[in-house]
Structure 1
Amino acid sequence: MLKSLQGQTVIVTGGSKGIGRGIAKRFGLAGLNTLIVSRNQAEADKVAGEIGKHASGFAADVSTLEGCEAMAKAALDRYGAINVLCANAGIFPAAKLGDLTVADFDHVIGTNLRSCFLSVHAVLPAMKKLGAGRIVLTSSITGPITGYPGWSHYGASKAGQLGFMRTAAIELAPHNITVNAVMPGNIMTEGMEAVGPEYIQKTADSIPMKKLGSVDDIANAALFFASEEAAYITGQQIVVDGGQVLPENQGAMDAM
């Protein structure tokens, strides 16, 4: 059993939907003060309401320095400390290379990768003052391990997060701040539900466990990285994908 994190404070970026919403609710259930950050105040407030009185929503564009600094200030003003950052904000619009524009590429890199750096940069003064901190990034199997047509910009952003993580972990280790990443496979979220049952079934068939993951599967991994039990783990990533990246090819799945 993990030692209690009750009374600590976590910031969850991209916390109003999908995996971010699952992370926010899991940390809230564990008793942490939870700041749910989204570009949409109403959506952030809705998730906060689902958690309870020790959670609140905050509207910010975390691809900007101003948004991240305002986010950190809000957490300190409301809760007095920042113990954990879950840098989860991300988008995944599809566009193949022939159609991918510079603006498309920059938008995905800004939202997924630059926001990761800016969020960490904004919380560092508070964590250093505290003498401890946990930073958990939401990366992906797409980019660091696998590829998928239409997601070259997304894959680059997710692989970039891991490159950022490794050096950040070295630099922050003397301050007792750890930096780790969760790498989800295919997770059942609102976005996945929208693509329809045929796609979902086809995807499940390619996974050894024959099912998609839940947001709780990712949230539980993030909570572990934030825990005292993970205090000596930094610069590492954990794949949460039901074994999706293991088969050598479709033939390996057919042989089952």
Structure 2
Amino acid sequence: MDFKLKGKVALITGSARGIGYAEAQLLGGEGVSIAVNDIDAEAARAAADQLRQQGIAAWPVAGDASNEDDVQAVVNGVIGHYGQLDILVNNAGIGVKPSYTVETMPAEAWDAMIQSHLRSTFLYTRAAIPHMRKGGFGRIVNTSSMNFTGGGRPGVSHYAAAKAGISGFTRTVAKEVGEYGITANAIAPGYVETALIAGFSDDMRQRLYAQNPTGRTCKPEEVAALVTFLASEQAAFINGALVCIDGGRRDFYWGD
């Protein structure tokens, strides 16, 4: 299928590794020019080099996704380098370890999680919309989580709150920008085979597999395929959606 993405420009936050890198690979393979964003400048450069070796147009741009000045500088840099911005994938965010119950959670841990996931999504979306509106085309894909759609799990209330906020934010943005040829959607992945999962014990991984109707966890390229579709012309009438990619496991509980 031709997704009609050739010539588009995508900014993917947190794309030096993991899910973000897989998204860069698949979008890049469709002819999209990629801005590889990461807080780690060296990691962003290395990822962009790897993508270029695969024949993908890639440019590294470092910046803290939760810092307002950095975000504006990154978006300005993308416009200066590529001349346009058509696709924004908000993928950046910190992990949930250590976990805390609400009673034991330091306010600093709460703030860091909200800033890394929810604030960063807001900042990048706000900065990108004017350029998308100018071009008459835009695709915004935000990353929620099964930890929201599944009702959360003990110990990660800050993460669940951030991901729930992203979903609500996305639906409102969709209503604000739809008339300009821009769509905003969110995805809610389950556990994905990244370095985080690789670091789990064999027993924990087997529990994750057993708890999923498919008997496995998600592959990064499967998330990337969903993002690529939502970025395409074929998905032009999908706006304000929250699309689960969790193998059907929405009612999970960590201890089951």
With structure 2 as the length reference, what TM-score do the two structures score? 0.93
What amino acid is the match of 1:12? I
Give 1:216's match in structure 2, choosing from 221, 238, 250. 221
Q: 1:182 and 2:181 equivalent?
A: no
Question: Is residue 44–residue 59 contact of structure 1 (8 Å, CA) maintained in 2?
Answer: yes
Aligned to 1:237: 242
Q: CA deviation at 1:237?
A: 1.3
| Distance across 2 between alignment mates of 1:103 and 1:228 | 41
What amino acid is the match of 2:187? V
| Distance across 2 between alignment mates of 1:176 and 1:148 | 37
Question: Structure 2, unaligned stretches of length 5 or more?
Answer: none
Give matches, 1:122-133, under 5 Å: 122-133=127-138
Q: Kindly provide the CA deviation profile for residues 169-207 of structure 1, in whole angstroms up to 9, marking residues without a partner as x.
A: 000011111000111001110011112222111100000
Q: CA deviation at 1:50?
A: 1.7
Q: Secondary structure at the match of 2:102?
A: coil
Question: Structure 1, unaligned stretches of length 5 or more?
Answer: 252-256
Q: CA deviation at 1:246?
A: 6.2
Q: Secondary structure at the match of 1:3?
A: coil
Q: CA deviation at 1:43?
A: 0.7
Q: 1:108 and 2:113 equivalent?
A: yes
| Distance across 2 between alignment mates of 1:15 and 1:92 | 15
Question: Is residue 92–residue 117 contact of structure 2 (8 Å, CA) maintained in 1?
Answer: yes
Q: Kindly provide the CA deviation profile for residues 41-93 of structure 1, in whole angstroms up to 9, marking residues without a partner as x.
A: 11111111121151011110111111111111111111110000001111122
Q: CA deviation at 1:96?
A: 2.1
Q: 1:80 and 2:83 equivalent?
A: yes
Aligned to 1:62: 65
Q: Which of structure 1's runs of 4+ aligned residues deviate more than 4 A? A: none
| Distance across 2 between alignment mates of 1:196 and 1:79 | 43
Q: Kindly provide the CA deviation profile for residues 124-163 of structure 1, in whole angstroms up to 9, marking residues without a partner as x.
A: 1111111110000011010233321211000000000011
| Distance across 1 between alignment mates of 2:27 and 2:58 | 10
Aligned to 2:27: 27
Aligned to 1:254: none
Give 1:194's match in structure 2, choosing from 195, 199, 209. 199
**Root-mean-square deviation (Å):** 1.7
Question: Is residue 90–residue 124 contact of structure 2 (8 Å, CA) maintained in 1?
Answer: yes
Question: Is residue 18–residue 191 contact of structure 1 (8 Å, CA) maintained in 2?
Answer: no
Aligned to 1:173: 178
What amino acid is the match of 1:43? A
Q: Secondary structure at the match of 2:141?
A: strand
Q: Secondary structure at the match of 1:142?
A: helix
Question: Is residue 11–residue 37 contact of structure 2 (8 Å, CA) maintained in 1?
Answer: yes
Question: Is residue 3–residue 30 contact of structure 2 (8 Å, CA) maintained in 1?
Answer: no
| Distance across 2 between alignment mates of 1:131 and 1:180 | 17
Q: CA deviation at 1:36?
A: 1.0
Question: Is residue 8–residue 32 contact of structure 1 (8 Å, CA) maintained in 2?
Answer: yes
With structure 1 as the length reference, what TM-score do the two structures score? 0.93
Percent of aligned positions that are identical = 32
What amino acid is the match of 2:30? A
What amino acid is the match of 1:20? G
| Distance across 2 between alignment mates of 1:211 and 1:144 | 19
Question: Is residue 44–residue 61 contact of structure 2 (8 Å, CA) maintained in 1?
Answer: yes
| Distance across 1 between alignment mates of 2:252 and 2:246 | 12
Question: Is residue 20–residue 88 contact of structure 1 (8 Å, CA) maintained in 2?
Answer: yes
Aligned to 2:93: 90
Aligned to 1:8: 8
- CA gap of 1:204–1:45, structure 2 versus 1, over 3 A, is same
